[in-house]
Structure 1
Amino acid sequence: MQYAVAFALLCALTFIAPCAPAAAQQVSPAAEADAYGALYDTIAGDPGDVGAQSAAAVTARMIVRSDDTVATLAGLEPRLEQALGQAMLPTFIAHMGRLRDLYRPRYIALFAAELSTKRAGEIVAILSTPEGQRIIRGARTNIMEGVSADRLMADRPLTVDETDAIMAAQQRSVVAQTDRADLLAFQRMAAANPAVFADFDRFRDVMIPLRTEMDNEPLAAEHEAQLAAAIEKVFATLFE
């Protein structure tokens, strides 16, 4: 179904559709930046830090479950996992915000290469509907879906194939958790806007390398130090 393909691309922080060349009317650089910037902000934004909260909570759970000693400590102190997630959250918010700012120009350039400003506005309108916003929120909630503990702890870059598999897992989770009424509403939007939805799948492969590069971006030195200090403080506080 077309909406399922759209979910996969939402999880990739990309929402591309083919379009005819822009009309002959002149569009100022500022107007272009506004149109493509609005599209990026709609897709990549994280209102309420839902994505950061999910990432911090899942990372805390993986830390607890991936080490026998930490798992034993968690058995002695049930608050450990939640405390780790809460302690890491500010750093996740800062890191994800940094990534959004860092990759914003590259995503906007990609949008500009594939979309007219009119089409960018049409996509923003679809995603700004209540159904679109709930689906985007679902993608943020499932941002860590498909990322195993081994993958999270591995000291090597994420591969394009792994990104592809993670995106597929995110898609399945979002579809499974989205209310049926929203799924049907989104499907009707796809049917009513075939030019916007038709070639999402074709662009998916184009998006994967940039998504992979973004996910492989290391923590800034200051964020790495903050994360280590936050984790150390949790253990010191709970097990002093």
Structure 2
Amino acid sequence: MTLVRTFSTAGRVLTQIRHDERTIGLLLVVPSLLIGLVAWIFVDTDVFQTIGPAMIALFPFIVMFLVTSIATLRERRSGTLERLFSMPLGKGDFILGYALAFGFLAIFQTAIAVSFAVFVCGLEIEGSIWLLFAVTVADALLGTALGLLASAFARTEFQVVQFMPLLVFPQVLLCGIFIPRDQLPEVLEAISDWLPLSYAIDALTAVANDSEDAAWIWARILAIGAWIVGSIVVGSITLRRRTP
């Protein structure tokens, strides 16, 4: 694995996406629209102030998972990946290049989503806006990494969607959006303590309420980072050159 090949892969992916207006809209606009819809639903209540930080984590996470996994899978199904691997390009170069490309897009997606939630939807943040941004970027990168992991195992786009009940839905149900995690049954609370989306929701809520110090927040970001690295490593090891 070399930096030159990795950055070349990232550049190729970004060039492809630049000519795909629908993907750009899905990545950069849709999460903010969904956050705005939630804010509009609860416009006359204080509910959005409570669940708003969770929405900032949830929608970018899901969108990045879907777009990354399907885009990577199409490279393999079309035979592009097999042709690339006939050149001096390793699995690590490919996976990391995709992670860098979509990670770069995740930064813009996060900036738009956080700005829209705070300045348009009126989400009040008592803590550091920069810490909020850092957690949200880590959360979007988590969606990217899990999408890359799913694409390494899936054979069709439909199978990618089937991975959502395994990798996404349990995290959504147990991360504390519907009920505080400390009110879950003990077994489910123990499981939720190991799920990365729980770290993101906890950290974003803590920043919004200014209820924890920066060291506590960064510990959660590092935990999310460990999941990101682990997903990328496993994805690069299990990636197949071509879908049978």
Task: Specify if TM > 0.5.
Answer: no
Answer 1 or 2: higher relative contact order, Cα 8 Å, separation at least 6.
1
Q: Which has the larger radius of gyration?
A: 1
